[in-house]
Amino acid sequence: MEQYKDLNYNLPSGFDIELIPSEKRLESYLLDVIRTVFERYGFTPVETPAVERLEILQAKGNQGDNIIYGINPIVSSSEDDESKKEKNSRALKFDQTVPLAAYIARHLNDLVFPFARYQMDMVFRGERAKKGRYRQFRQCDIDVVGRQKLNILYDAQMPAIIAEIFSTINIGEFMIRINNKKILAGIFESIGVNKEEEIKLYIQIIDTLDKVGKAKVKQNLQAQGLSDSQSLQIIDFIEFKGSVTEILDFLQQKATEINNSDTFHKGVAELQSVINGIKELKVPTDKYCIDLSIARGLNYYTGTVYETTLINHESIGSICSGGRYENLVGIFAGEKMPGVGISIGLTRLLRKLLDNNLIDKMSATPAQVMVLNLQQELIGTYLEVSKKMRDGGINVLTEFDDIKLGKQLKKANKLGIPICLIIGAEEYKTKSCKMKILKTGEQLDVSIDNLVDEVNQKLLEI
């Protein structure tokens, strides 16, 4: 025992994502909600291994080599000769998108397109340590991927899915902000910026608006070559506020003025279709808006883009983001495969929700009932009653140890178990038990025969 006492058993920096039971139960609940909504829309589960060939991860990273962890056996004699050739050739995935592209290529003939999948695994990023930034975290992603083409209505489904998830988990008011990158690219084209690389650069500057503010964005746009009036024009445009209808009207008006950018016209038409679909899917109107400043810095987005913010807690940042891309997941299959997807960074989101008290806590155990131990001779009865309740769908802890009743109740309280069942010699004789509700102290006599129904009824009430 002694020999290990001096070891540092803390988690390595950035990997301290471990949750205590009550928090982990909350994560399980969130995962259940997210998965249920994903499946309602016909998304099917996929899980790719943590490890891929390094060259695959490097093929089209949205981050680059500097965040990739390689894996190697710590002892070079392990594995086998074949595998020794694999030295420095394997690494941990840093997102779910590159693995999705590889998965599609690996299983092309087994998949039906458009392919709608969800994935909720862990990813690994060797980034600089920073509070709230993790080196391993869970991302809950969905993507729909088409061959050659993909209907714009898939873009309209995404906000319906986001709204359903965040309404269900009850974390307060939120807003899904929708835009289209063709509109942003088009507005730059309309003022005479035509090189794709320049437009990408400008859009990345716009993407910082929330963080650095208007003045700094204007300054940066000018530093890259825009005139004072051009940069003002851009900022006025992306800052235009209004209802969905007002912004669509504004964009239609702009479109009549702009005759030097097809991209702009395409973007407005796409956004219009997306909004139409959202309305037909009956997404509540207070849950989404058009925000012309949403840019999603990532270059691979080519059309619709989304961000989601918690109202009054905007500093948390976007809790669910994504968009449409053209050339991302077909790269290994060697085909054009446009897709649209969203991502919830669950590890970070849960931490933020907990730290800001934005979500209800859960108990430290799934047990709903604890069967107390009053007399060691009645242990057979305790086991039978426990079994009976489990068969009735109730989660049960049985106390096996002969400890004081007060201590047993204290334990049930600490675990957050709502109901305790007390069976002593008297109750044993009458085939009954005392059902104690810990929160209220209420105590009821119940016949063992009716126990499952009575407990299920009580659980609904409390």
Residues 29-48 that bind a second copy (CB under 8 A): 39-48
- How distant, in Å, are the alpha carbons of 115, 129, 153, 169 from that of 159? 18, 32, 11, 16
φ/ψ of residue 339, rounded to 5: -145, 165
Q: Which of residues 97-116 bind a second copy (CB under 8 A)?
A: 102-103, 105-107, 110-112, 116
Report d(CA 376, CA 304) in Å as an integer: 66
In angstroms, what is the minimal distance from the CB of 112 to a second copy? Answer: 5
Q: Which of residues 347-376 bind a second copy (CB under 8 A)?
A: 364-367, 370
Contacting residue, 248, 379, 409, 446, with a second copy by CB under 8 A: 379
In angstroms, what is the minimal distance from the CB of 330 to a second copy? Answer: 7
Cross-strand pairs, 138: 122
Q: Is the CA virtual torsion 43, 47, 50, 55 positive or negative?
A: negative
C-beta closer to a second copy: residue 226 or 333: 333
- The total of other beta-carbon atoms located within 10 Å of residue 286's CB is 11
In angstroms, what is the minimal distance from the CB of 227 to a second copy? Answer: 37
Cross-strand pairs, 115: 145
Q: Which of residues 224-283 bind a second copy (CB under 8 A)?
A: 277, 280-282
Helix axes 451-461, 379-391, angle to 10 degrees: 60
C-beta closer to a second copy: residue 92 or 290: 92
Residue 371 DSSP SS3: strand
* Binding status of residue 78 toward a second copy by CB under 8 A: yes
C-beta closer to a second copy: residue 27 or 189: 27
Q: Which of residues 290-329 bind a second copy (CB under 8 A)?
A: 327
Report d(CA 60, CA 99) in Å as an integer: 11
Number of residues that bind a second copy (CB under 8 A): 121
Contacting residue, 236, 377, 401, 461, with a second copy by CB under 8 A: 401
Length of the chain: 462
User: In the chain, what is the straight-line distance between the N-terminal and C-terminal CA atoms, in Å?
Assistant: 45
Instruction: Name the DSSP letter for residue 192.
Output: T
Contact segment (CB under 8 A) with a second copy among 180-188, 263-271, 393-401, 453-461 equals 393-401
In angstroms, what is the minimal distance from the CB of 451 to a second copy? Answer: 15
φ/ψ of residue 321, rounded to 5: -135, 165
User: Per-residue x/- mask for a second copy, residues 406 to 425, rule CB under 8 A?
Assistant: -----x--xx----------
C-beta closer to a second copy: residue 54 or 203: 54
- For 414, the token pair is 């600490």
Contacting residue, 20, 131, 429, 460, with a second copy by CB under 8 A: 20
User: Per-residue x/- mask for a second copy, residues 116 to 135, rule CB under 8 A?
Assistant: xx----x-x-xxxx-----x
H helix or E strand, kind and range, residue 91: strand 90-92
